[in-house]
Each structure stands twice: as structure tokens, then as C-alpha cells.
Structure 1
Amino acid sequence: MKSVQSFYDQLSGQYTDLISKCVPRYNELLYNMFHYIPEDFKPKRILDLGCGTGNLTEQILKHFPEAEIDALDLSEEILKESQKRFMSQPNIRYIQADFREMHLAPGSYDLILSSIAIHHIEDAEKTILYRDIFSALTVNGVFIFADQTRGINEEIYHKHISRWKEEAFKLGSTQENWDMWMEHQNAHDFHTPVNWHLKQLESSGFAEVDIIWKNIMWAVIWARKR
């Protein structure tokens, strides 16, 4: 996954701006990740999986300022940007790791969150990741992730891509930006239908799974361990 790492290392200083021009309704996506967290749920240990420059980490701090947060990403340069952003926050630990090689201790987190990151690994690796996440959660722990997904057939998927381009250009993306994302996507991204994710989460042991928000090809998926 070195090429993925290199791509995000190079984008580290621009990432927050680029993502806001690339993902339609991005703030709404982030909002819904937290809106569906149970009201009586007070996680003490949280993992931000694929934290990027800290957009999701910022929301975690707003909602759970007392929690211990592990911010994990493949890109060393991205992590440096996040560290600069949250220099005054002593409760964040930064971890550089590959999803496929990290070792999560059983029962080590109450809440695991991920935003637009899991599609970087292949489906067989997603299956292993979901099992590892289930094991890493405490009883009643919650896993919520937002990601790009694939249409149930190729026609729908290609229409998703077309709609995405229209919306991205409305947000200020340029043809150069779009070509960059598409080159990266075609070489390194693995989009999977929503139903596949739900089935794999159930197979991994999650007692409750649901899709709680969707726009074009972006979905927010919720799962709870009982």
C-alpha cells in the first residue's frame, strides 16, 4: 500500500480543502456519524481509523472531550498535519499503521469510527478488518463508518460516478482535481455495495447493523456489539 501512502503524503497540506470540494454534503455525513450514537453512550476509549488530517477527530473531541483517542493513519505526513492541528490536546495518541497489519487488543475500544478510508483495502481484507474491529470493541461497543460504496450493478455505479463529478464541480473542484482523484481511484480503491458491508458485519458477530445515511455513493453504516 506504499503508493496509497505516497499519494496522501503529497496531499497532506491540502487534504482538508480538497476533501471539502470532493465529497458532496461532507459536513452532513460527519454530522450523521454522531447523531446516531446512543444518547446514553459515554465511550472512554475511541479509535479514529484512517484519521487523515483530523476532520473526524475534531468532531470526536467536540462530542467526547474526556475520551482517550487513538488517531491512526497510514500516512506519516497526514499524521503530522493532524498533530499540528491538535497540539493542545493531550488525550490524542497518533499511530502510523496499515489497516492490514495493525494489531488491536481485544476489548480495547468502546467506539471505533472511520471516515472515507476503508475502501482503500480489498474486500477480503475488509472482512478481516471487520472481525478485528468486532474483537477490539467492548461489549455494547459501537462501530460507525462513512465510506464510498459501489452500486448494486455497473449501470448504477457509473451513474454514481457521473453524479459525483457534477456535485464535485459545484463545490469548486477543477478538472485537474477530478483527474487526480480518478487516477488514484482506478489504481487503488475498492468500492463495495452497501449490502455486502452489512452482511460482512453480521458475519463478523455484530448483533445490530444498519445504514443510517446515504448520498450518491457515500454511506454511513452503524454496527453494535452485544
Structure 2
Amino acid sequence: MENVEEFYDQLSSSYSDLIRKCVPRYDELLNNMFLYLNADFKPLRILDLGCGTGNLTQKIIEHFPDTQIDALDLSEDILEECKKRFANKSNINYIQADFKTMHLPAAEYDLVMSSIAIHHVEDPFKLELYKNVYQSLKKGGIFIFADQTRGITDDIYFKNIDCWKEGAFKLGSTEENWKMWMEHQDAHDHHSPIGWHLDNLKNAGFEEVDLLSKYLMWAICWAKKH
């Protein structure tokens, strides 16, 4: 079985197209990540955790065109796609790193964002990641992430997956696409309930945490460092 890096290496050139056929309301999800940022919030440095081919990075540029961006991902090939996409941008720094082993610089970022990436690590590593992000933020810094979550019961969880499948096929996914995502999910994905995320963001040190929105499995969480 391929690992996560190999999986995304193989999808690097087609990822942006496939994700829009896979995730219902995908662009709405990305847009909603910015809804609760105050108009006077002007971050000087932003980290995009698990940047992929740059879909969230693109939204960051649209909202904060002059900020310095660190785009981090595990896959070298997918980072190359991101580099090609933003070849005319000089304010993006690319970092190849693993969520499980990386050490973010202290008090470096005003804003850390992540889109559909954190579920790729097991719960103990998520907690360490949250601690890592917390110490990497300046005072007043904000962590916003969108991710797949698990229902509080198996009935809720599997109903969400059934609805996800129905929505994905309406978007143009094929049986082959769905089988690929489910095989990857069974092997590499680690979904956690919303309550788990919020509790452990607090355990990591964040004083202000909230669920901003949720549709089926996809939730947006907010955490602020005072």
C-alpha cells in the first residue's frame, strides 16, 4: 500500500480537478474560512499547512495579496505543481515537511490555515500538531482549518459518507474515483469528532476556540492565541 506522500505525488497534476469532483461545496468551504476574520486583520506572515496544489493558497493571496506565505506540504511533486501555479509570485516560500516530525518556528505567524489535510495524521499527532501551531503563532494569532470529521456515532458518520458519495457523483466523480478515495481513506485517514478537535485545541493552549461551520463531514474550526 502506497503511503500518503506517494498517493499525492501520483495525483499532483490532477488534484485540483479531482477535489472539486469529490468534495461537495468545496469552494464555499474555502471561502468560509475567511468569513470571520475582521476587516482590520492584516497578517504579515501566513502558513498554509498541507497546501496541495494551492487552492487555499490562492484564496490567501486574494485576501492578503502582499503578505508573506509559507506553503507547506509532504509531497514534493504536489509542491512543484503549486510552484508552477504561482510562478509569478515572489512572496511564497515552499516547505516540504511532514506534520508528524516538523518543528515550526516560534512566534512566527499571524495566521495559520489548513484545508482538508489534518485528518491524515492520527489523533496523538494531531494534538502535537496543535501544540506546534500554537507556539508558532504570535500573540493574537489565529489558526483556522477545514477538515473531514467523524460523527459522534457510527450512524451519523456513515450517513455522512453516504451523502458524500451521492454529492460526489453529482459533481462528476466516477466509481473509479470513489473507489480510489475510499481505499485511500481506509488506509490513511483518521477522522475525529468535532468535540475532540475543540477540546484538544484548548488542551494545546488556545484560549478561544469555535466551530465556524459544518456540512456533512467537512467542518471549519477556529482557534485564537491571546
**TM-score tier (shorter):** over 0.9
Residues of 2 paired with 1:213 and 1:11: CA distance? Answer: 28
Q: How many Å separate the matches in 2 of 1:101 and 1:156?
A: 33
* Whole-Å separation in 2 of the counterparts to 1:131 and 1:36: 23
Specify every segment of 5 or more residues in structure 2 that has no aligned partner in the other structure, as ranges: none
Distance 1:72 1:121, change over 3 A: same
Point out where structure 1 has 5 or more consecutive residues left out of the alignment.
none
Q: Corresponding residue for 2:37?
A: 37
User: SS of the residue aligned with 1:35?
Assistant: coil
Which residue number in structure 2 is paired with residue 188 of structure 1? 188
- The Cα of 1:106 is off from its aligned counterpart by 1.0
Encode CA deviations 1:79-123: one digit per residue, 9 max, x unaligned: 000000000000000000001111111101000000000000000
Match of 1:173 in 2: 173
Identity of aligned residues (%): 63
Shift of 1:38: 2.1
Q: Does 1:48 align with 2:16?
A: no
Deviation per residue, 1:42-82 (Å, 9 max, x gap): 10000000000000000100111111000000000000000
- Indicate the SS of the match to 1:5: helix
Aligned to 1:219: 219
Q: Residue in 2 aligned with 1:67? A: 67
* Displacement of 1:39: 2.0
Aligned residue number for residue 108 of structure 2: 108
Residue equivalent to 1:118: 118
Question: Could you say which residue in structure 2 is the equivalent of 1:199?
Answer: 199
- Provide TM-score, normalisation by structure 1: 0.99
Q: Distance in 2 between matches of 1:57 and 1:225?
A: 22
Deviation of 1:37 after TM superposition, in Å, equals: 1.4
The whole-number CA distance in structure 1 between the counterparts of 2:158 and 2:106 is 39
Q: So what's the TM-score if we normalise by structure 2?
A: 0.99
CA RMSD, 1 decimal: 1.0
For the residue of structure 2 that corresponds to 1:72, the secondary structure is strand
Number of matched pairs: 226
Where 2:34 maps in the other structure, the secondary structure is: helix
Distance 1:159 1:82 in 2: 34
Q: Which residue of 1 aligns with 2:98?
A: 98
Question: What's the CA shift for 1:14?
Answer: 0.4
Higher mean displacement: 30-39 or 163-172: 30-39
Counterpart CA distance in 2 for 1:58 and 1:64 is 10
Report the equivalent of 2:76: 76
Find the counterpart in structure 2 of residue 10 from structure 1: 10
